[in-house]
Structure 1
Amino acid sequence: MKSPDYYQTIMPYLVVKDAEKFIDFLKEVFNADIKLIVPRENGSIMHAEAVFEGGTIMFANANDDFLPFPAGMFIHSPNAITFYDKALKNAATSIQEPAQREYGLSAGFEDAWGNVWWVTVPENK
């Protein structure tokens, strides 16, 4: 099987409780395109892939064999502060309000699954 064109060299793989709601979060905050959902026999998500702004996140619903664990993500995008604002409207908590830093306008939030997202607007060179 040929790898999809949207795969990158390295991609985060998350295990979350209630992956169906995580999909809603990704769509609402990042306007993610859900490329693949593979269900388990019980209907829960065994594997899923979401793409936004050229990046891919893979994830699965937690179960007894694969417990949930948080991850940290860094997003470098002109839309970074929009992502931050949308995340806070979708049950995320601010861990760093937007501020100008030497590397760009940056902020941070934690989603309802414990993942930490650092978002930065690239500086024009």
Structure 2
Amino acid sequence: MHKPQGYPDVSAYLIVPDAAAVLDFCAAAFNADRLRVIARDGGGILHAECRIGDSVVMMGEMPDGPDAHLHLYLADAEAAFDRAVAAGAEIVQPMQSQDDGDLRGGVRDTSGTTWWIARQEEA
């Protein structure tokens, strides 16, 4: 098999300053399941993965990594948004109806990743 069982063909890969903090945030905000965590010789995390719904988010550590943005469609986007804020995220955009038919808001976690949390609104 060309990939681990249950993994999608495409996964987001984040470069973050603190992968452990991002894993904890994902668990608290999005009920993510931690998958693999590979430690770096001398401390820190070389590579880590978590599952959010049917997707896998991968990450590695770099102190000054680039800004990253992820978009999530979740059945209870409002609750996930509230959990993200409770887990320490800064509100970038409050949850609001968008022209594309989504209810969407954005939060930035303590590692600098922006998470756009959305669901389709009823027609």
- Asked if these proteins are the same fold (TM beyond 0.5), I'd say yes
Alignment: residue pair count: 122
| Deviations 1:68-92, CA, capped at 9 Å, x for gaps | 2221111111122212111111221
User: Contact 1:77–1:122 (CA<8 Å) still a contact in 2?
Assistant: no
Percent of counterpart pairs with the same letter? 28
CA distance in 2, matches of 1:101, 1:14: 26
Runs of 4+ in 1 over 6 A off after TM superposition: none
SS of 2:117's partner is strand
CA distance in 2, matches of 1:35, 1:123: 31
User: Contact 1:39–1:46 (CA<8 Å) still a contact in 2?
Assistant: yes
SS of 2:41's partner is coil
User: Contact 2:22–2:109 (CA<8 Å) still a contact in 1?
Assistant: no
Match of 1:115 in 2: 113
TM-score normalised by the chain length of structure 1: 0.86
TM-score normalised by the chain length of structure 2: 0.87
Instruction: Give 1:1-125 correspondences, 5 Å limit.
Output: 2-62=2-62, 67-102=64-99, 103-124=101-122
Instruction: State the shift of 1:97 in Å.
Output: 0.9
